[in-house]
A and B are shown apart, each in its own frame.
Chain A
Amino acid sequence: GAVVSQHPSWVICKSGTSVKIECRSLDFQATTMFWYRQFPKQSLMLMATSNEGSKATYEQGVEKDKFLINHASLTLSTLTVTSAHPEDSSFYICSARLPGLAVPYEQYFGPGTRLTVT
Chain B
Amino acid sequence: GNSVTQMEGPVTLSEEAFLTINCTYTATGYPSLFWYVQYPGEGLQLLLKATKADDKGSNKGFEATYRKETTSFHLEKGSVQVSDSAVYFCALYNQGGKLIFGQGTELSVKP
Contact = CB atoms under 8 A, between A and B. Distances in A.
Interface string A85-116: 00000000101000000001111011110000
A44 B98 contact: no
Interface stretch (B15-23, B41-49, B58-66, B71-79): B41-49
A44 B32 CA distance: 18
Contacts of A105: 32, 34, 49, 93, 99
A109 B32 contact: no
Q: How large is the interface on A (under 10, 10 to 19, 20 to 34, 35 or more residues)?
A: 10 to 19
A54 interface: no
Given A41-B106, A42-B104, A105-B93, A93 B44 contact: yes
A93 B103 contact: no
Task: Give the secondary structure class of B's interface.
Answer: strand
Nearest to A42: B103
A68 interface: no
B99 A107 contact: yes
Contact of B104 (A41, A95, A110): A41
Nearest to B9: A41
11 contacts: A34-B99, A41-B106, A42-B103, A43-B102, A46-B99, A93-B44, A95-B44, A105-B93, A109-B36, A110-B43, A111-B43
Q: 7 tightest CB-CB pairs across the interface, nearest first? A: A105-B93, A111-B43, A109-B44, A109-B43, A43-B101, A43-B103, A44-B101
